[in-house]
Amino acid sequence: MKNKLATNQFLDKAFDKLFQAVGFEEWDKEFSKQDDWYMQKTWTKDESNKYKKWFLAEIKNDLKLKKNCAEKEWQWFNLKWGWKEQN
């Protein structure tokens, strides 16, 4: 149960930071109830890279993941919930 709690705490922090990257104060749970919420905001490649760097450092620290496992978690997280990148 402790591991699940740690994962949920990390995800709460990750979503707060994700939403802050595009101008929200924190994770807007009402906004994220919309089917396509992650397509309604955009971020630049630089913003995405900055968030990725933060995400990898935090997930390795919080969940004690090795680099390759952290990278896989990033790929899934970004694929499923990452903001659309500006062209």
Q: What percent of the chain has pLDDT over 70?
A: 98
- Tell me the per-residue pLDDT of 10-48, one tens digit each, with 9 for 90 and over: 999 999 999 999 999 999 999 999 999 999 999 999 999
Residue 37: predicted pLDDT: 94
Residue 2: predicted pLDDT: 54
Residue 5: predicted pLDDT: 76
| Token pair in block for residue 49 | 């890279």
Does position 67 have pLDDT exceeding 80, yes or no?
Answer: yes
Distance CA 14, CA 7 (A): 10
Does position 1 have pLDDT exceeding 60, yes or no?
Answer: no
Query: What's the 3-state SS for the chain?
Result: CHHHHHHHHHHHHHHHHHHHCCCCCCCCCCHHHCCCHHHCCEECHHHHHHHHHHHHHHHHHHHCCCHHHHHHHHHHHHHHHCCEECC
| Maximum pairwise Cα distance, the chain | 42
Residue 58: predicted pLDDT: 96
